[in-house]
Chains A and B, each alone.
Chain A
Amino acid sequence: METSEDHGNGELNHLTKKPRLTRFITESAIADEFAHHQPGVARINNGSFGSCPGSVLSSQREWQLKFLRQPDDFYFNGLRKGILRSRTLVKDLVGAADVEEVSLIDNATTGAAIVLQQIGRAFAEGRFDRNDAVLMFHCAFQAVKKSMEAYVRRAGGSVIEVRLPFPILCDEEIITEFRKGLEKAKSNGRKVRLAIIDHITSMPSVVTPVKELVRICREEGVDQVFVDAAHAIGSVEVNVQEIGADFYVSNLHKWFFCPPSVAFLYCKKSGSSLDAHHPVVSHEYGNGLPTESSWIGTRDYSSQLAVPTAFEFVNSFEGGIRGIMKRNHDEVVKMGEMLAESWGTNLGAPPEMCASMVMVGLPSRLYVTSDDDALRLRSHLRAYYGVEVPIHYQGPRDGEDGVKDEYGIVTAYVRISHQVYNTLDDYCKLRDAINQIVDNKKTCKTLLIE
């Protein structure tokens, strides 16, 4: 029986074969879908590696078996159709104008390599001048930073970093720093060839005003804009035309319930996208990035093929992906505020600059004074409290006081995630663990990790 409810992406339902559900997925069904998660672990780090429900894993296994059963038939008759179906669903989801703008790749890291390799080529082939600039945030994902080194610096380009203020109170702070960074990049008459903008930064995690930043790039004559949105799809609204970047990449296995691993790379139809190639060259070389990416040698493409089942899963929730995003956001903010209150600390960013992840200050009495300390604390929480949560060390900046709690400067933040499988209990475990460590007068350096 059809309902008139808009599932947020209801137009997608006709592409799947299952009949429309009249009831939404229940709590116990959700628990079943994630029964393969390790019990006893408060898994509040969906942001790092994502999660995949049992029904999508089953679909993936079916695809894997299809290949093993008769791989030639699969290759000639099934593979490309399946990938095109996945690409089409993604194209509709993100508002791309043309399915030829959507490629499926392994992950955002691969997307960065594709974008930066063509930038590197332009430097090496003399189309860009030596020392022309590429701009990125100082907290860009480490893989992206290394990719800049491997493809941009190596080819003679210069890299300008924009500081991301953190803790942060509003979008304006980011916009101001970004404009400063652009000024610096353009100094000495340099051309800014590429700006890499995180839609949601990784560590520390903040939702940036990406639309505004892209607009500023266009105003200031930046050649190409690449949005690294690894965390975006499934945690914030994504409309690639509205955002207006030349390249936009997001992982589907983080917040969109796909198996590891699959991401989409959107390339706006224009001059530069024609030179974007998959670095693993196959016989499809020159047939367009989507086609090149659909065959990079014999490998397991099943995670790309299982994408439609992830859509089905998402559509079984009230409000579809929009409903999931809203509930995740509301819950993670609520949990963040609960933790901050219990610990006497702060949130690293206001709720409107968070999606499904929140940075919560850790008590200063833990004395986190380095990345190593942060890692130590994280390992201790995993080994002794069954809590999985990443920790960010925020060193003091010269001339700044830093945020304080009652006892000193807050130097570290946990990044908590909320996904459909999380429960209140997960966050209580974290809350109590930290409180216990503090009450026992333990500091990072004294914590056991075995």
Chain B
Amino acid sequence: MNGDASHSKKKPKLSPPEISAEFSHHDPAVARINNGSFGCCPRSVTAAQRDWQHQFLRQPDNFFLNLLQPAISRSRSLVASLVNAPHVDQISLVDNATTAAAIFLQHCAWSFAEGRFNPGDAAVMLHYAYGAVKKSVEAYITRAGGHVIEVDLPFPVKSEDEIITEFRKALAKGKSEGRKVRIAVIDHVTSMPAVVIPVKELVKICREEGVEQVFVDAAHGIGCVDVDVQEIGADFYTSNLHKWFFCPPSVAFLYCRNQSNAGGDTQLQLHHPVVSHEYGNGLPVESGWIGTRDYSAQLVVPSAAEFVERFPGGIDGIKTANHSAVVEMGEMLAKAWGTNLGSPPEMCGSMIMVGLPACLGIGSESDSLKLRTHLRDCFAVEVPIYFNKRRHDRRGEEEAGGVITGYVRISYQVYNKVEDYERLRDAVDKLVNDGFTCASLVEPESD
């Protein structure tokens, strides 16, 4: 009735036409190979969401007083079991990983202001950390007097060892400068370029080196890689549920190892930056009410879980199938274009980086955006393009024509078909055959 699956019979597995029907609202003309950016939401879940929205609009006072909090609790419990969090009090629901990062980093800013951290203490983060997270670190850490150390990551990357080595180097750098490394912000799957990071190992190293708090940004986590928060061992772990777990925009969870219950020292707790009357009652409760707004995306987590169960193997089955398919498609493209993958298959989840032919002449961020727009407008292909600036800047004179500086990041989700990737393959082949270069593209109109 409310899209709540807990008491209904198990529904049968979805057939291919049924899967198509669930995503029939996607633009049929577009080869949508970018699930990584904004995710997707099947019809049955958006229908459940509308039910919840309707409940609020129908009688908002009753909804607020009697329906909302139990429904949020149900979602939180479900997430706790999905990620193997021992206690539901460790799980808060927030809008997105960007919000979770702000929550954690504001807490760090207070630590500087209140003397738990000292000026010059360090925060370690990956060079390929998400743009929003980097800005958040600037806004909350640098501004508060903290020092930021970036972990240099190689790309293309050949093995996890390369990443582990660079991480150790970054921690050592902090030490050699006489800094205390207070926090580490580690991506589980970097965004651009997309690479699965060996988080478990990195968390272990952090513990060995006495890093107090480890925050794992797993925006691409649940539904894309295995998520077991206890095994990973971080202090904080956040993941979007609207990217790879079929929830509508937008909902994410933030796991906090040390439960933020009411009654604890408010100074030591994390707080939602939008403060409501629930302030001080623990982050999960604070996040459950941040003023009047539409909480429906948080309430349909059970409906999304129900959808997932209609696939063989549930979320694990989907993840495995996505991974195999995206690797297969990636290898198909790399072969067709004579290029390479950005990382080995074991360092990919449901996304993979595939080198674009060097002759396309991607020489800047702007080029990659222009090319992306061109693919959208002229070939109806939606795929993000990564400009590998460092490789571009490092290229020698003799290499000039042959260095791969651009990569597509292809995603595979249950609605994708081989034709989507063939269309991309053929589009790029055509551009190459036509002697196309990015230099020939006009600056796109800015919005």
Contact = CB atoms under 8 A, between A and B. Distances in A.
Interface of A: 36-38, 41, 43, 45, 48-52, 57, 65, 67-73, 75-77, 79-81, 106-110, 112-113, 116-117, 124, 142-143, 146-147, 149-151, 154-155, 251, 253, 259-261, 277, 279-286, 296-300, 303, 382, 388, 390
Contacts of A112: 275
Which of B138, B243, B447: most chain A Cβ within 10 A? B447
Contact of B293 (A36, A260, A280, A388): A260
Nearest to A148: B275
Contact of A260 (B25, B56, B274, B384): B56
A300 B249 contact: yes
A251 B59 contact: no
B19 to A, nearest CB: 16
A127 to B, nearest CB: 13
A73 B376 contact: yes
Interface in B64-100: 64, 95-99
B132 A388 contact: no
A281 B62 CA distance: 33
Contacts of A277: 139
B443 interface: no
Given A52-B57, A297-B250, 9 more contacts: A38-B59, A68-B25, A124-B144, A142-B276, A146-B277, A150-B279, A260-B292, A260-B294, A300-B249
Contacts of B26: 68-70
Contacts of B276: 109, 142-143, 146
Contacts of B64: 48-49
20 contacts: A49-B56, A69-B27, A70-B26, A71-B37, A124-B113, A143-B276, A149-B280, A151-B275, A279-B273, A281-B98, A281-B132, A281-B135, A281-B139, A282-B132, A286-B135, A297-B99, A297-B132, A297-B250, A298-B37, A298-B249
Interface string B233-275: 0000000101100001110000000000000001100010111
A43 B61 CA distance: 9
A299 B96 contact: yes
Contact of B135 (A67, A108, A285): A285
B443 to A, nearest CB: 14
Interface string B380-401: 0010100000000000000000
B292 A50 contact: yes
A297 B293 contact: no
Contacts, number: 193
A285 B292 contact: no
Given A279-B273, A299-B96, A106 B249 contact: no
B128 to A, nearest CB: 14
Contacts of B277: 142-143, 146
A253 B292 contact: yes
A82 B297 CA distance: 22
B174 interface: no
B95 A296 contact: yes
Contacts of A38: 58-59, 62
Given A69-B25, A72-B34, A110-B291, A49 B132 contact: no
A72 B26 CA distance: 12
B39 A298 contact: yes
Nearest to B26: A69
Interface in B272-292: 273-280, 290-292
B131 interface: yes
Contacts of A72: 34, 37-38, 376, 382, 384
Contacts of B279: 146-147, 149-150
A285 B248 contact: no
A285 B139 contact: yes
A147 to B, nearest CB: 4
Interface residues of B, number: 68
A350 to B, nearest CB: 27
Contacts of A253: 292
A296 B275 contact: no
A147 B58 CA distance: 30
Nearest to A297: B98
A298 B27 CA distance: 19
Contacts of A151: 275
Q: Which 5 A-B pairs have the closest CB atoms?
A: A109-B291, A297-B98, A279-B273, A49-B60, A71-B38
Given A70-B382, A72-B382, A298-B249, A45 B292 contact: no
A108 B291 contact: yes
A80 B290 contact: no
Contacts of B297: 300
Nearest to B54: A36
B97 A147 contact: no
B102 interface: yes
Nearest to A46: B60
Nearest to B277: A142
A48 B54 CA distance: 17
Contacts of B242: 298
B24 to A, nearest CB: 10
Contacts of A147: 275, 279
A283 B59 contact: no
B98 A282 contact: yes
Contact of A281 (B41, B102, B280): B102
Interface string B137-165: 01110001000000000000000000000
Contacts of A51: 57
A270 B389 CA distance: 38
A282 B274 CA distance: 16
Which of A52, A71, A80, A280: most chain B Cβ within 10 A? A280
A300 B384 CA distance: 21
A150 B99 contact: no
B136 A70 contact: no
A300 B294 contact: yes
Contact of A110 (B131, B266, B274): B274
B323 interface: no
Contacts of B243: 298
A337 B140 CA distance: 53
B368 interface: no
B172 interface: no
Nearest to B58: A38
A69 B243 CA distance: 15
Given A57-B57, A72-B38, A283-B132, A298 B96 contact: yes
Nearest to A74: B38
B290 A150 contact: no
B205 to A, nearest CB: 27
B102 A279 contact: yes
Nearest to A379: B65
Interface string B202-246: 000000000000000000000000000000000000001011000
Contacts of B188: none
